[in-house]
Amino acid sequence: MTTEIAADTTSDCRLLDDIQVSEIFNIPVRTLIRLRDLRPDNNRHGLPAGPRFIRLGRAVRYRVADIHDWIAAQTVDPADVLVTARGQTRRPRRPRKTEIAA
């Protein structure tokens, strides 16, 4: 059974649990939990790693609208990524002060 996200606005208010969201992304539930628990100050970008969530007591739920927003934030433009000689991707470096002044 797979969970689909409907495009209509009425479904954006629905709340999904960890299992439903992991089915949408086709990732293990444990990976979703790790993304949720990764603090912004502990990752290299300083941003929350997973989608926004709601804690209802011990239960965790996700709004469909927040999942859509998180997917949009994960979109990478290929022009913004460089590929190194080893095949690894990285972002272009920031220009140095001397390069800006010139």
Q: Report pLDDT for 77.
A: 73
- Enter the pTM of the model: 0.61
Residue 41 amino acid letter:
D
Q: How confident is the prediction for the chain on average, in pLDDT? A: 77
Contact by Cβ (8 Å): 13, 25: no
Q: Rounded distance, CA 13 to CA 62, Å?
A: 10
Kindly provide the b/e burial profile for residues 19-35, where b requires at least 16 CB atoms within 10 angstroms of the residue's own CB. ebbbebbeeeeeebeeb
Helix (H) or strand (E) holding 83: strand 82-83
Confirm or reject CATH 3.30.2320 for domain 9-77, answering yes or no: no
Whether residue 30 has pLDDT greater than 70: yes
Where do the structural domains in the chain lie, given as residue ranges?
9-77
